[in-house]
Amino acid sequence: MAIITISRGIGSGGREFARHLAEQLGYSCLSREVLSECSKKYNIPESDLYAKLVEAPSRWKKPSKEHRQYVAYIQCSLIDAAKLNNVIYHGYAGYLFLRGVRHVLRIRLETPMAFRVEAVMREHNLDRDQASRFIEDADTERSRWVKSLYGEDWHDPLLYDLILNLKSVSIDTAGDMVSLMISRADFGTTESSVQRLNEISLECEAKAALVSDDDLWDLSIGLRANGSVVTVSGNVATKRISDKIMGIVACVKGVTDCVSHLRVSKEPLETKMYGRGHD
């Protein structure tokens, strides 16, 4: 069965739709639950994780070490949840965190501003002007977050498989549409799509390990898993750093070998295998 992600702005009805859809399909419905599991896994207060998840880095500065760490940790926890399948995630960046997995249906809710304003007025006890500013500020922050960390436009329709307007389509009708889509082979779970999800999990765990290191957190390192073998690429200043990167990746649980395509001082290193033995 498919994994479903729902991207929505504040006041778009996303929470209600996700819960309705989960009940209709018999799926687990996740949002803050992912943060709770992440908090336990990495021993970080949930409030700190949430703050970094919603806080966009300064437009004039690169993301901080803490920002990179927490986002990587949250992505790892979401992938852990996605491996269970039959999951609906409505929250930040699910459609980005799970890119490359075939059996993920990415839904975007686009709702008229007037509808959203009314919803925010009711939920937060604000007047109309306050609710409008609240939504505009939240949308601006989320757009900056996605752009700064992933270089994507949050509103780009090509990031999604289905765009819904819950103002003109009832929740029941929208649920039927989603149910039909995930019943088709386009979003069916296959052996290759499950393997890719596991590979993305390895890549994410390796990234989380690297950004946890004081010397490596701000380096642009490429990671690509093929089965349990991870290829590492990028430019580094010294062989010591190269060896440190490879040593960390080789020790990630589930990685049996890693291949270095790192370049030191613009000179290519000899391709080298780093094995850790099979778990």
Per-residue pLDDT tens digits for 95-121: 888 888 889 999 999 889 999 999 999
End-to-end Cα distance, the chain: 28
Core vs surface per residue 184-216: b (16+ CB within 10 A) or e:
eeebebeeebeebbbbbbbbbbbbbbbbbeeeb
Overall pTM surpassing 0.75 (yes/no): yes
Beta bridge partners of 262: 234
| Domains of the chain: residue spans and CATH | 3-187 (3.40.50.300), 198-275 (3.30.1340.30)
CA angle 48, 38, 16 (to 5 degrees): 85
Per-residue pLDDT tens digits for 19-57: 999 999 999 999 889 999 999 999 999 998 888 777 766
